[in-house]
Structure 1
Amino acid sequence: MTADRLMPINALLGLCTPYDVNPSPLAVAGFRCVGLEVPLRCGDGGKVVADAILVHDAAAHLVVCESKSGNNIEVEQALRYSEVTAQTVVHAVSLTMPHALEPSVEVLYLGLEAHSERLALSLKSADVAYPLLAVGKSSIKLARSEGASRRLRAALPSAGIDLTAPPLVYIPFDHDSAVEEFVDPVRARLVQAVALGETEISIRVLSERSCPSFLMYGQAARSQLIKKVQRAARQIAAEHPGTYAYAEAPGGGEGYIRILRTPEAYDARGRTQAYQALSRQSPRRHLKIDPNQLDLLQELTGTDDSGSDNVEERP
């Protein structure tokens, strides 16, 4: 499930976000998140993809984070993280660091509280000293803290952090999520574009508006997000062919959605119903559109949701 899979990352973002409903000790200590799904070169010529990267600007200190929703780690991946240098991370996320300080880096594993013991054993078996942030619905604790930097230990108390509520969902879906999870967020942003009177919106812009923290993702993850937003947008355009049309960009690329007609053309009653229809969530399936089917907005000018009452257009 996406919620469980992304829970450790969402918890980390909460710790770095000032004024979260839960305590934000990493933000208070000066840490902030600067990257998600960032590929990093290793000293042995290999590569790892960090799930998140934190930076403490004043100390020029970086934290490379690997998130696990299960109870095991990949030993080869864990060993490769030890080959990542601070300069590699700085270049990967295009950071400007204080010239007077030599940047430093450490690795932090994230996991669910229910699997924390198994994850700690796996890290020990891999002979790596990385600390582990164990995330639960009511608390977060830094385990294996002896492997953490002094600055990270100071920010995260050994007794753990009691949460007021379960970690907030900053990222409800990501590049690994199914296309179906993109449909409703993309639909909401298209309705917003309609309400703002926009006549077209590029898939790239639609991706930035629909996907939380889009600009923090590495290039490969951003490309996957764009492709899934594109597929979701084309599905929505097929559902409402009188309102939206997908168009290819000149010379190729992600394309864009043309807004053909908006509910603003209707009187107050028809306009409200039209917006409701555009916003309505669809079943989790790919629709087969009948070419003879009337456009939904055209139908709404004559009937309400039940099809029993007439809605007259006023001059």
Structure 2
Amino acid sequence: MVADVVLFHREAAHLVVCESKSGANVEVDQARRYGRLLPQNVVRAVSLSLPHAMELSLEILYVGLEEHAERLTLSLDAAKANCPLLTVSDKSIKLLRPEHASANLLAGIPADGVGLLAPPTSYIPYDHESDDTEFVVPVRGRLVQAASRGEVSVTARGLAEACCPRFGHYGRQARGQIVAKVAKAARQIATEHPDTFRCAMSPGRDETLVNILRTPEDFDARGRTQAYQALSRRSRSRQRLQTDPNQLDLLQELGDGDDSEDNEAEERP
């Protein structure tokens, strides 16, 4: 059982464990297991650092789409789950079953809901449940940035933290899954570009380490911009051999995207 989000109100010493549902049904067995969850279990699972010894309180919050509100409510009733339900639509966010909500939760959400004036400003593009291929592009970009800064190596966990701004908000198991997917993506990129990256195990043999063999500035004496462009073109020629049409060039983010001047210089006798 892995919760989607865990919220912690430090002043009130209150935990809110959130379970999101995209469909219209609640798993009865899961809801009953949530009902047996203790605050101490959550603190250990998410490696939560408490400022001092405190008596914690906890509640479970189900989150779903407003169009499924009736079915979700019936499912929670069938499971005898004393949990509030937060529903989301294009126009508002509402708290249903408020009789099961804590005073902390009720204080944060108006009784008539929260109106939404615009779509969300950002989305989480990938997480621990995403396909492994979703991590190739962001990991590639972070490795290029590390190479441009002259870094010697970077760990898979460091890449995961850079690629996933909310990495620290996930539970221990989810963080481990993200690091594993990032490490797999890094190994793929190192295989594609063996002159630039090499993967190995860290000295403690406990995580993947990506060694940066040389920076793009080392490739060509013509200067930084031309060197990045040259490596970028080499990446494109290699990419034509790949079967994945969605894979981006290694140095797409850092190249100018316009190498016409460089081509003319190469064509002149």
The 3-state SS of whatever aligns with 2:120 is coil
The reply to whether residue 273 of structure 1 matches residue 224 of structure 2 is no
The within-5 A match list for 1:85-96 is 85-92=38-45, 93-96=47-50
Cross-structure match for 1:222: 175
Q: Determine which of 5, 8, 13 is the counterpart of 1:60.
A: 13
Cross-structure match for 2:193: 240
Q: Determine which of 234, 255, 260 is the counterpart of 2:208.
A: 255
Q: Which residue identity is paired with 1:163?
A: L
Give the deviation of 1:166 after TM superposition: 2.1
Q: Taking structure 1 as reference, are residues 98 and 235 closer, same or farther at Cα in structure 2, changes over 3 Å only?
A: closer
The reply to whether residue 80 of structure 1 matches residue 33 of structure 2 is yes
Cross-structure match for 2:156: 203
The 3-state SS of whatever aligns with 2:86 is strand
Do 1:191 and 1:279's aligned partners in 2 also have CA atoms closer than 8 Å?
no
Do 2:217 and 2:228's aligned partners in 1 also have CA atoms closer than 8 Å?
no
Which consecutive aligned stretches of 4+ in structure 1 deviate over 6 angstroms post-superposition?
none
Q: Which residue identity is paired with 1:270?
A: Q
The 3-state SS of whatever aligns with 1:233 is helix
The reply to whether residue 231 of structure 1 matches residue 187 of structure 2 is no
The 3-state SS of whatever aligns with 1:142 is strand
The reply to whether residue 264 of structure 1 matches residue 217 of structure 2 is yes
The answer for unaligned runs of 5 or more in structure 1 is 1-47, 288-295, 298-303
Q: Following the alignment from structure 2 to structure 1, what is the Cα–Cα distance between the partners of residues 202 and 41?
A: 35
Cross-structure match for 1:143: 96
Q: How many percent identity over aligned positions?
A: 51
Do 2:216 and 2:224's aligned partners in 1 also have CA atoms closer than 8 Å?
no
Aligned length: 248
Do 1:137 and 1:167's aligned partners in 2 also have CA atoms closer than 8 Å?
no
Q: TM-score, normalization: structure 2?
A: 0.79
The within-5 A match list for 1:127-142 is 127-142=80-95
Q: CA RMSD in A?
A: 3.0
Give the deviation of 1:269 after TM superposition: 4.2
The answer for unaligned runs of 5 or more in structure 2 is 245-249, 252-257
Q: Taking structure 1 as reference, are residues 192 and 275 closer, same or farther at Cα in structure 2, changes over 3 Å only?
A: farther
Q: Following the alignment from structure 2 to structure 1, what is the Cα–Cα distance between the partners of residues 145 and 234?
A: 10
The within-5 A match list for 1:1-315 is 48-92=1-45, 93-96=47-50, 102-169=55-122, 171-250=124-203, 252-265=205-218, 266=220, 267-274=223-230, 309=263
Q: Following the alignment from structure 1 to structure 2, what is the Cα–Cα distance between the partners of residues 279 and 181?
A: 19
The 3-state SS of whatever aligns with 2:3 is strand
